[in-house]
């Protein structure tokens, strides 16, 4: 295979809604470029992009697929990105590896949640966009309506480059405003007949071309001057203006096609080769953590960035890399900037979905893969210069918003399940796994229920391990609302030395800046910042040596043990002042264990008398929904005990700001999707702990009591 130089490479991501036809378009592009000799289809389950068992089973993409094709002596690297919002981690990773994105629009449906998400992420990264309106052969295709909606969403940057003549069943022709020709395709697609624009379309074509030329002229000052002087631009000048405007995100060109029928695909690829920026032309600049810009210089030391990893059947761990500088050569050694360890690039592959072509070298700007790296993971930087300290700014993956508890049905599978969860989270950085020591549960966090159910599919079908997903326990906190005193005598005699210790204590609610109690003189104070939040203040108020000071650490240890397993629900306790003011000890039988147990039990008794309260975690929440769907979402939030703090406009959407208890948020992503037809999105961030309402506390106490009986 030819080794392409940086200027001959175009890196694009196919993004958009889940049913827009991205995989079909990727297949058609591979066919049109001669990479495959026969087109597969999603329906026939034989595309080179959706080749994984889960994708064949579900008939939709769940993982980004890296592909390539060749056209006009250019190499087009293609990343086919899943369209569902649950897989937006794949979208973010793909956009860090390309210089342009093709947003595929279903001509029947128009803008979907996947379209909006793609636009948001490309805007954040300043990625150039072009739109391909697909499925124009469908009976419900409506090009003009989609253009109107796109202009409402994305503004006047939407620039029509092509428009269909006969959208709907039998679609085979469109007007290309750059070439000023009509492209007419034979039945089944293929090479088009290029004709003059029909007389019936002359006026419409001229009007739309005028708008195209005007937008293209804004790409450069000299083009604008010529346009003002002569009122027109040549094809090459229009192309240059489009190329500059596209790179600067000042123009969003719109092309049309039917990927299934292979209509317009070749012209789309031709447009990409002429107008999409190559790595050396892109305005997007990747940077090192030092702030230094990367310029895709082939003569510079080798610099590779791992933007994605996967575990491929029969192949093992595969790392997908972009060559940021220099060249990567088969057999070369590189340094992992994470840990300065050496890695050997044993083999280099160019990817075509499930197919891989072995090559000897690749130049700056290209996308390749390799296998059998020891510890290079997603976001790793590999360089040929030892100790250079070069590290590319990592991809910022979206924070997970959906949490569920997970466990193996059989205890014998626990270790295997844990290892597999960690492996999946290494490959999918928008998924997290953690063990909650507080609730004693393994938690898996993802972007939504579909995301997590995809993980379950792998366990059920690939690993044949039965797992259970269920609502996670809420990490409550316990505290007190008033002062209380209690004492406890621990006495045990069983032959030989016994155990004796008696402790008297006063406990009070801790409040920042509070005045210490005056009832018992304080002789010493220890303040402990608790790992789970809040404080414990431990005051020594002992007078007359009633308890030897050497036993105070044991009393504190007993109290801390009970704070780790609060008296009400077994949750962590916090924000309490403990005053040890009296006690008794025995010259022979008193020891640390006795005082630890006495302190623990005295604390438990005092806690129950001190107006105990359960605290629940409260989260700041931001929900973005279409304006017309806001009523249903607001009603649902109020049913979840949310307090709405305000609303802001975001384009055509409304952003609801609210504070909501974590207890009420399990499976919220599913409910929001149902309420908004998948168009609502939300994010959450921990704010604080607040007291639960009385009815909720009563319910929680009853549930804990019943659970404790069951365990006994």
Is the model's pLDDT at 388 over the cut of 70?
no
Is the model's pLDDT at 652 over the cut of 90?
no
- Encode pLDDT of 276-335 as tens digits: 999 999 887 778 888 888 889 999 999 999 999 998 877 789 999 999 999 999 999 999
Q: What is the C-alpha to C-alpha distance for residues 48 and 415, in angstroms, rounded to an integer?
A: 35
* 592 & 621 share domain: no
* 106 & 252 share domain: yes
Residue 496 has a pLDDT of: 67
- Encode pLDDT of 438-481 as tens digits: 888 999 999 999 999 999 999 999 999 999 999 999 999 999 99
Report the CATH number that the domain containing residue 523 is assigned in CATH.
3.30.230.10
**Bridge-partner residues for 158, per DSSP?**
252
* 520 & 655 share domain: no
pLDDT band of residue 707 (cuts 50, 70, 90) is confident
Contact 91, 15 (CB under 8 A): yes
* 337 & 429 share domain: no
Is the model's pLDDT at 711 over the cut of 70?
no
Quote the strand ranges of 137-179, DSSP E.
Answer: 158-160, 162-164, 173-176
With a pLDDT cut of 90, the percent of the chain lying above it is 77
User: What's the distance, CA 215 to chain centroid?
Assistant: 35
Is the model's pLDDT at 495 over the cut of 70?
no
Sheet of strand 467-470, all strands in order from the earlier edge strand to the far edge: 432-436, 441-446, 402-408, 467-470
Residue with tokens 């000048």: 237
Residue 42: CB atoms within 10 A of its CB come to 20
Contact 26, 80 (CB under 8 A): yes
Report the CATH number that the domain containing residue 453 is assigned in CATH.
3.30.70.870
- Encode pLDDT of 14-63 as tens digits: 999 988 999 999 999 999 999 998 998 888 899 999 998 899 899 889 99
Based on the structure, what is the number of domains in the chain? 5
Q: Which of 143-157, 314-328, 363-377, 482-496 has the lowest mean pLDDT?
A: 482-496
Report the CATH number that the domain containing residue 682 is assigned in CATH.
3.30.70.240
With a pLDDT cut of 70, the percent of the chain lying above it is 99
Q: What is the C-alpha to C-alpha distance for residues 88 and 602, in angstroms, rounded to an integer?
A: 52
Q: Is residue 283 part of a domain?
A: no
pTM (whole model) above 0.75: yes
* 265 & 159 share domain: yes
Sign, CA dihedral 509-514-517-522, equals positive
Phi-psi domain of 110 (left: phi exceeds 0; alpha: psi -120 through 50; beta: other): left
Give the helix, strand, coil percentages of the chain, each rounded to 5: 30, 30, 35
pLDDT band of residue 703 (cuts 50, 70, 90) is confident
Q: Is residue 705 part of a domain?
A: no
Residue 709 has a pLDDT of: 67
Residue 338 has a pLDDT of: 87
- Encode pLDDT of 578-622 as tens digits: 999 999 998 888 899 999 999 999 999 999 999 999 999 999 999
Q: Is residue 667 part of a domain?
A: yes
Residue 362 has a pLDDT of: 96
* 456 & 592 share domain: no
Mean pLDDT of the region 395-413: 93
Q: What is the C-alpha to C-alpha distance for residues 100 and 246, in angstroms, rounded to an integer?
A: 9
Mean pLDDT of the region 686-702: 92
Mean pLDDT of the region 390-403: 91
Residue 694 has a pLDDT of: 92
Q: Is residue 391 part of a domain?
A: no
* 495 & 525 share domain: yes
Distances (CA, A) of 546 to 489, 541, 587, 681: 14, 10, 12, 62
Contact 176, 268 (CB under 8 A): no
**CA-closest candidate to residue 559, choices 525, 603, 519:** 603
Domain end among 555, 579, 611 = 611
Residue 385 has a pLDDT of: 85
Q: Is residue 711 part of a domain?
A: no
- Token pair in block for residue 98: 């390309």
**Bridge-partner residues for 75, per DSSP?**
9, 70
Report the CATH number that the domain containing residue 360 is assigned in CATH.
2.40.30.10
Q: Is residue 374 part of a domain?
A: yes
Mean pLDDT of the region 341-362: 93
Q: What is the C-alpha to C-alpha distance for residues 91 and 113, in angstroms, rounded to an integer?
A: 13
Residue 67 has a pLDDT of: 96
* 515 & 638 share domain: no
pLDDT: which is higher, 316 or 389: 316
Residue 598's contacts (CB-CB under 8 Å, 6 or more residues apart) are 488, 489, 490, 501, 502, 503, 555, 558, 583
* 313 & 252 share domain: no
Is the model's pLDDT at 712 over the cut of 60?
no
Q: Is residue 392 part of a domain?
A: no
Domain end among 422, 451, 471 = 471
Is the model's pLDDT at 657 over the cut of 90?
yes
Report the CATH number that the domain containing residue 270 is assigned in CATH.
3.40.50.300
The DSSP element (H or E) to which 228 belongs, if any, is: helix 221-230
Which residue range forms the structural domain that includes residue 643? Answer: 614-695
Q: What is the C-alpha to C-alpha distance for residues 438 and 476, in angstroms, rounded to an integer?
A: 9
DSSP-derived secondary structure for 268-328? HHHHHHHHSPPTTT-S---BBTTSPBP---TTSPPEEEEEEEEEETTTEEEEEEEEEESEE
Domain end among 275, 295, 320 = 275
Residue 389 has a pLDDT of: 64
- Encode pLDDT of 182-214 as tens digits: 999 998 788 999 999 999 999 999 999 999 999
* 39 & 52 share domain: yes
Q: Is residue 246 part of a domain?
A: yes
Indicate the pairing of strand 316-325 with strand 367-371.
antiparallel
* 68 & 170 share domain: yes
Looking at every residue in the chain, the average pLDDT score rounds to 92
* 333 & 365 share domain: yes
- Encode pLDDT of 555-588 as tens digits: 999 999 999 988 888 899 999 999 999 999 988 8
Is the model's pLDDT at 710 over the cut of 70?
no
Burial class (CB in 10 A: 0-12, 13-18, 19+), 201: middle
CA atoms within 13 A on the CB side of 39: 22
Residue 414: CB atoms within 10 A of its CB come to 12
- Encode pLDDT of 130-163 as tens digits: 999 999 999 999 999 999 999 988 999 999 999 9
């Amino acid at each position: 295979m030819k080794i392409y130089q940086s200027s001959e490479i175009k890196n694009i991501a196919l993004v958009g809604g889940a049913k827009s036809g991205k995989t079909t378009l990727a297949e058609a592009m591979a066919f049109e470029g001669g990479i495959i000799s026969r087109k597969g289809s999603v329906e026939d389950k034989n595309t080179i992009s959706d080749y994984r068992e889960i994708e064949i089973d579900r008939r939709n993409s769940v993982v980004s697929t890296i592909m390539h094709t060749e056209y006009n002596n250019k190499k087009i690297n293609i990343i086919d990105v899943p369209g569902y919002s649950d897989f937006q981690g794949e979208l973010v990773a793909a956009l860090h590896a390309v210089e342009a994105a093709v947003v595929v629009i279903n001509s029947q449906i128009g803008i979907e949640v996947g379209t909006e998400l793609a636009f948001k992420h490309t805007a954040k990264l300043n990625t150039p966009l072009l739109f391909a309106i697909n499925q124009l052969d469908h009976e419900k295709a409506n090009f003009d309506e989609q253009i109107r909606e796109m202009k409402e969403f994305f503004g006047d940057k939407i620039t029509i480059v092509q428009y269909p003549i006969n959208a709907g069943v039998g679609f085979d022709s469109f007007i290309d405003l750059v070439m000023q020709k009509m492209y007419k395709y034979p039945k089944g697609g293929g090479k088009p007949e290029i004709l003059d624009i029909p007389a019936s379309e002359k006026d419409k074509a001229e009007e739309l071309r005028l708008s195209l030329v005007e937008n293209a002229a804004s790409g450069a000052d000299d083009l604008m001057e010529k346009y003002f002087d002569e009122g027109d631009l040549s094809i090459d000048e229009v192309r240059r203006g489009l190329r500059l405007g596209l790179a600067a995100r000042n123009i969003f060109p719109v092309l049309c096609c039917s990927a299934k029928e292979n209509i317009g695909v070749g012209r789309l690829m031709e447009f990409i080769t002429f107008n999409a920026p190559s790595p050396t032309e892109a305005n997007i600049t990747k940077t090192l953590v030092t702030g230094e810009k990367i310029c895709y210089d082939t003569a510079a030391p080798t610099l590779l960035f791992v933007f994605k990893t996967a575990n491929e059947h029969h192949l093992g761990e595969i790392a997908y890399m972009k060559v940021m500088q220099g060249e990567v050569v088969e057999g070369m050694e590189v340094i992992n900037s994470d840990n300065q360890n050496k890695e050997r690039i044993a083999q280099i592959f160019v990817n075509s979905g499930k197919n891989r072509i072995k090559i000897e070298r690749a130049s700056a700007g290209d996308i390749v893969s390799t296998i059998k790296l020891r510890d290079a993971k997603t976001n790793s930087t590999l360089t040929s210069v030892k100790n250079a300290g070069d590290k590319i700014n990592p991809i910022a993956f979206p924070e997970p918003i959906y949490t569920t508890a997970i466990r193996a049905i059989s205890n014998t599978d626990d270790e295997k399940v844990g290892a597999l969860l960690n492996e999946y989270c290494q490959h999918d950085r928008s998924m997290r796994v953690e063990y909650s020591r507080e609730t004693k549960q393994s938690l898996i966090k993802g972007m939504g229920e579909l995301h997590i159910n995809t993980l379950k599919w792998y366990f059920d079908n690939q690993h044949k391990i039965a797992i259970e997903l269920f609502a996670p326990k809420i990490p409550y906190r316990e505290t007190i609302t008033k002062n209380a005193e209690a004492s406890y005598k621990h006495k045990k005699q069983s032959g030989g030395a016994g155990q004796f210790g008696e402790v008297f204590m006063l406990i009070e609610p801790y409040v920042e800046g509070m005045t210490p109690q005056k009832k018992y003189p304080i002789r010493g104070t220890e303040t402990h910042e608790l790992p789970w939040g809040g404080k414990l203040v431990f005051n020594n108020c002992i007078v007359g040596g009633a308890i030897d000071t050497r036993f105070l650490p044991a009393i504190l240890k007993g109290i801390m043990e009970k704070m780790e397993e609060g008296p009400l629900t077994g949750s962590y306790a916090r924000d309490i002042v403990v005053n040890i003011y009296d006690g008794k000890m025995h010259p022979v039988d008193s020891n640390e264990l006795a005082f630890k147990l006495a302190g623990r039990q005295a604390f438990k008794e005092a806690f129950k008398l001190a107006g105990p309260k359960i605290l629940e975690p409260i989260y700041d929440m931001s929900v973005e929904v279409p304006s017309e769907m806001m009523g249903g979402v607001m009603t649902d939030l109020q049913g979840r005990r949310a307090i709405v703090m305000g609303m802001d406009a975001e384009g055509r959407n409304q952003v609801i700001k609210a504070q909501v208890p974590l207890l009420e948020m399990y499976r919220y992503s599913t409910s929001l999707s149902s309420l908004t037809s998948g168009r609502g999105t939300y994010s959450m961030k921990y704010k604080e702990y607040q007291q639960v309402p009385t009815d909720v506390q009563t319910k929680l106490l009853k549930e804990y009591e019943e659970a404790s009986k069951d365990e006994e």
